[in-house]
Structure 1
Amino acid sequence: MKYGKIIMLIIVLFTLFGCASEPSQGETSAKTNGELRFAYSQQPASLDTHVNTNTATSDIMRHVYETLLTVDSDYNIQPMLADSWEQSEDGKTITFQLREGVLFHNGEEMLADDVVASMNRWKESAGSRSQFTDATFKAEDDYTVVLELPEQLSTALPALAHSGTGLAAIMPKEIIENASEDGVTEYIGTGPFQFEEWKQDQEIHLTKFADYNPRTEASDGSSGKKEALVDDIHFMFITDASTRIAGIQSGEYDIAESIPYDNVEQLDNDPDVDTMTYTASSLVIHFNKRQGLFTDVKAREAVAAALDIESILKAAFVDEEYYTLNHNFMFVDQLKQWPSDSGKEIYNQNDPEKAEQLLSEMGYDGEEIRIITSRDGDTSYNASVVLLDQLEKIGLNATLEVYDWPSLMSEREDETAYEIYVIGNTLVPEPTTTVFLRKDYAGWAEDPKLETLLKEFRGQASLEDAQDLFDDLQKWYWDYIPAIKVGENQAISATRSTVDNVQYQSGFILWNVSNSK
């Protein structure tokens, strides 16, 4: 297969000693030119990264918000809004020295009180609450923030540096104080682009922040120097794939994501379009474990027994070139640090007779199994259709309910609305932040044994010290089956040939990106 300017970004282990690399973003010119019109397949439900873990939210708002720490292309932790940090010998105190002269988009300087307000709110968010229980952030002076932990936490720094969903964004203190339960109402950060406008169901418009204060180190992954090389970014919500394809070829759009696999050759043959391939996510079947049939682990075992994994992945991702089978709930490229054989015999059984027997043993009596999905996500929708067929073949009364993307995100939070949903989950920095291990994530893994395992893992001095405990988590995963990770996939995006330096690391990177048209 021919790719124009392939950027093969394998999203790998997020640790202090990451094991793969991406091309450096390098030095860039400060000159700006024009705009980027990005044909994006989904509209986010919210732009508040503290309360929303949807990929669409982080893809857009990582250009507006920044974090204390971040990661380079090898996933080593690097400074961003913090200039430095120091951890006490007992691991319970981390002191951050902040950069001076960093301005928010409202013109006010970022100070320690803003960081403390942001972090104390973020640590109560769904993705962070379980890790930072009883932790406190305090301002020692205008440029010093101290994190006090009740006990050492192996996952603290990786969580603060994560550059994907659930971003630990720094916002002005007054924005935090005025936030409602639904989220902040103003989107003000310190990033190279600022929020301009959200036209519902049409676009989100970002503009260059003229007073942005970049770091001086060379750009590398999500770290180092960031520059806005275009004046405007328009994230345009184009749910129809054929419209995205036509638009990237006509020049209406400068970037288009979620390119159907069947269209890759068509774009490769267009001299005005370049394609890029990157590891995007894992495809996951989530069970509602609070209500309905799947509160019984035997029902979840029955689904695991029935699945023909290859058929589901092929329906979603077309060709084996674009998907990988993996029994481990961590990604293939993370297995060097998180190896485990637990569950190999349970994964991809393709044994309908065993599944029928398990359902018979539990006395299944024909209750409806609602699979909720959205056509806005082509791969998860196609996977859901094949899953529906496989469940019907073992005697389950399965139905498919289709929503638009924001409605699907809302429906999955309602424990009375469904039994199963299928969605892509992105790579996480370490095992305990895997979404289906969270008791507050839709599907709800509420198990005391899991909480004990997570506490022990996080209680180690570092991720290296926690490695030997991973197999216990992997074994629990296949014993309890909170969800089933079907496999992992490569995604395809496209750019006009005039667009240079688009990167992907836990999301699209559009700073240091120019457009010469």
Structure 2
Amino acid sequence: MTRKMHPAVKDLKSDMEKGKLSRREFIRMSTLLGVSAFTATQMAGLGWVKKAFAGNIKRGGTMRVATSLQKIAHPANYSWIAGSNVTRQVAEYLTLTDGKNITHPYLLENWEASDDLKTWTFNLRKGVTFNNGDAFVADDVIFCMNQWLDDKVGSSMKGMIGGYLDTTGIEKVNDHQIKLHLKIPEIAVPEHMFHYPAQILNHRTFEGDFLKAPHGTGPYTMEEYREGEMAIIKARSDYWGKGADGKPLPYLDGMKFIDMGTETAPMIAAMKSGDIDFIDMSDIAGTDIFMALKDDPKAQILTAPTASARVLRMRADMKPFDNEKVRLAIKKCQNHEKILALAQMGQGLEGQDFHVYQLHPEYCEFKTPAYDPQGAKKLLAEAGYPNGIEVNLAVGSGWPDVVRYAEILKQDAIAGGVKINIQTMPNSQYWEKWDQVDFGITPWTHRPLGTMVLNLAYKGDENGKPVAWNETKWVDEEFSALLEKANGTLDVEKRRKIFCDLQRIQYERGTVGIGYWRAVWMVAGANVKGLDGHPNGYMLFNEVSFS
């Protein structure tokens, strides 16, 4: 049966041909509307990149990964990527957004969106089984979505999808098809299904702790997981995905994750000596690793420009940050050019104090705010602090660039009437209180669309209370209304106009400063093949092998 192409695809193609939309953005948006990546690439006039030939593949071997092994239980509650990088080898997602920000079917065969973007049909892949032998069916997807939307679970997925979907809008058509009936239009539904806490679980066996029943559809089984020490996974022989040689993936026999903390020197030494094959940099800064290994013949480094940021965040419900003028004064104490150069070695882009990245398709041109200490002093005086303020800034010591960011801000803020006391702590301790401290610097990972992180972190729920990952507790009615409008707007120019207002509001009265956007690296041994860089640092290793 021929699938209907969404009518907006023609409009997107017209925008591309008129120069309003790049070819890459056309492919990204049309695939969200259900066009296959192959077809979208052809429509954009580009060639399709073929995968490796079977003769180039060597099977076998165990990959050794340097990482930080955190406590894990419910995947829906992940608050950072490192934990998901282990379990994503065992449990999978409905979709997959690749390193070029193109979203593909994964456990879905395909999807279709209604003309008004309010009804989405998900067709599930058939013949897929969990590693305990249970069949993957619609009940598993519905179970997970109910978990994501359950306030008792407390998943960030509620903030991502709860604005447009509730449990009454999930319809089971049959064992391999579900329909989502949305409350409002939404373009990014397929991308939301690849948010890292959205791993699909076995509804028959999952009872809140994945390690007690590690049943996933992925190519590996969980053999051992010891927090702070080691995790071991082994290849399945009956995985649904096939390699270039026609045999079930993966190519590797297994993977061993070794907890090496967040100190980078031991990781660099281990890579140089050949004791590890990959460094999971999802929870470490990586600048020093990049500098140490970029010319080493034993290592390969893949670089990706990203919307990953170190977010200077202020709690809107705590003094003195409950005052908009105080928050803007703090932002004016940032010298973005200096911060990027010294904290990130110039590897990235200057931030502009709103959580929208210059390469997001919706981005509205905005001049980088100037370092303005006199303006900061004036704002503090107007806010009732003529003698300035003294504040404590919480940072994780395992992120060297974050510590450097804090040190630069501390020095430059003195002229603006702000005395900053830096309070360093281990990364693990920061993550325990990241949404509780009044003033801190929180790492936020890449999101391919500008709307995604705004929905996660800067709005309220249906009752007006901050969503799970709204760490600054800032809820602005005008901002939220504009964001909801942007979520359902397909026309690129109209969407960008909305973002002009969103960016302005978040700069003028929002709760974050963003000094820079980070380049992200993936570091592996020179003998690792099939590695694709990913802006989130996701380890998508089904087709990775050794030479």
TM-score, normalised to structure 2, is: 0.79
Query: Could you tell me which residue of structure 2 aligns to residue 91 of structure 1?
Result: 117
- 2:360 paired with 1:340: no
> Residue 490 of structure 1: which of 505, 516, 519 is its match?
519
1:486, CA displacement in angstroms? 1.5
Distance 1:437 1:459, change over 3 A: same
> Residue 331 of structure 2: which of 298, 304, 311 is its match?
304
> Residue 186 of structure 2: which of 129, 144, 153 is its match?
153
> Residue 85 of structure 2: which of 56, 59, 71 is its match?
59
Tell whether the 8 Å contact from 1:192 to 1:209 is kept in structure 2 after alignment.
yes
Tell whether the 8 Å contact from 1:443 to 1:482 is kept in structure 2 after alignment.
yes
- 2:478 paired with 1:449: yes
Alignment of 1:221-300 (within 5 A): 227-238=249-260, 239-258=262-281, 260-262=286-288, 264=290, 266-280=292-306, 281-300=308-327
Query: Could you tell me which residue of structure 2 aligns to residue 508 of structure 1?
Result: 539
CA RMSD of aligned residues (A): 3.2
Distance 1:195 1:112, change over 3 A: same
Task: Tell me the distance in 2 between the aligned counterparts of 1:490 and 1:302.
Answer: 27
Tell whether the 8 Å contact from 1:105 to 1:209 is kept in structure 2 after alignment.
yes
1:74, CA displacement in angstroms? 4.4
Task: Tell me the distance in 1 between the aligned counterparts of 2:337 and 2:373.
Answer: 15
SS at match of 2:77: coil
1:110, CA displacement in angstroms? 0.7
Task: Tell me the distance in 1 between the aligned counterparts of 2:47 and 2:74.
Answer: 30
SS at match of 1:145: strand
1:114, CA displacement in angstroms? 0.8
Query: Could you tell me which residue of structure 2 aligns to residue 350 of structure 1?
Result: 371
SS at match of 2:420: strand
Task: Tell me the distance in 2 between the aligned counterparts of 1:169 and 1:398.
Answer: 40
Structure 2 residues not aligned, in runs of 5+ = 1-23, 32-43, 460-465
Task: Tell me the distance in 1 between the aligned counterparts of 2:409 and 2:111.
Answer: 48
Task: Tell me the distance in 1 between the aligned counterparts of 2:406 and 2:52.
Answer: 41
Which one-letter code corresponds to 1:514 in the other structure? S
Distance 1:27 1:405, change over 3 A: farther
Which one-letter code corresponds to 2:201 in the other structure? M
1:199, CA displacement in angstroms? 1.5
Query: Could you tell me which residue of structure 1 aligns to residue 15 of structure 2?
Result: none
Tell whether the 8 Å contact from 1:47 to 1:61 is kept in structure 2 after alignment.
no
> Residue 501 of structure 2: which of 464, 467, 472 is its match?
472
Query: Could you tell me which residue of structure 2 aligns to residue 8 of structure 1?
Result: none
Range that drifts further, 428-437 or 100-109: 428-437
Query: Could you tell me which residue of structure 1 aligns to residue 38 of structure 2?
Result: none
Alignment of 1:387-406 (within 5 A): 387-406=409-428
SS at match of 1:294: coil
Tell whether the 8 Å contact from 2:326 to 2:380 is kept in structure 1 after alignment.
yes
Which one-letter code corresponds to 1:294 in the other structure? F
Query: Could you tell me which residue of structure 2 aligns to residue 142 of structure 1?
Result: 175
Distance 1:383 1:227, change over 3 A: farther
Task: Tell me the distance in 1 between the aligned counterparts of 2:241 and 2:75.
Answer: 22
Task: Tell me the distance in 1 between the aligned counterparts of 2:50 and 2:80.
Answer: 27
Task: Tell me the distance in 2 between the aligned counterparts of 1:464 and 1:207.
Answer: 48
Which one-letter code corresponds to 2:188 in the other structure? T
Which one-letter code corresponds to 2:319 in the other structure? G
Tell whether the 8 Å contact from 1:286 to 1:443 is kept in structure 2 after alignment.
yes
* Bigger relative CO (Cα 8 Å, ≥ 6 apart): 1
Which one-letter code corresponds to 1:232 in the other structure? G
1:106, CA displacement in angstroms? 2.0
Q: Deviations over 1:135-163 (max 9, x none)?
A: 52222222121212223323323322x3x
1:458, CA displacement in angstroms? 2.3
Which one-letter code corresponds to 1:389 in the other structure? Q
> Residue 238 of structure 2: which of 211, 215, 220 is its match?
211
Tell whether the 8 Å contact from 1:325 to 1:488 is kept in structure 2 after alignment.
yes
- Number of residue pairs matched? 484
Query: Could you tell me which residue of structure 1 aligns to residue 28 of structure 2?
Result: 15
Task: Tell me the distance in 1 between the aligned counterparts of 2:435 and 2:47.
Answer: 36
Which one-letter code corresponds to 1:509 in the other structure? L
1:370, CA displacement in angstroms? 1.9
SS at match of 1:363: coil
Which one-letter code corresponds to 2:545 in the other structure? S
Structure 1 residues not aligned, in runs of 5+ = 1-11
Identical aligned residues as a percent: 21
Tell whether the 8 Å contact from 1:82 to 1:96 is kept in structure 2 after alignment.
yes
Tell whether the 8 Å contact from 1:374 to 1:404 is kept in structure 2 after alignment.
yes
1:302, CA displacement in angstroms? 0.4
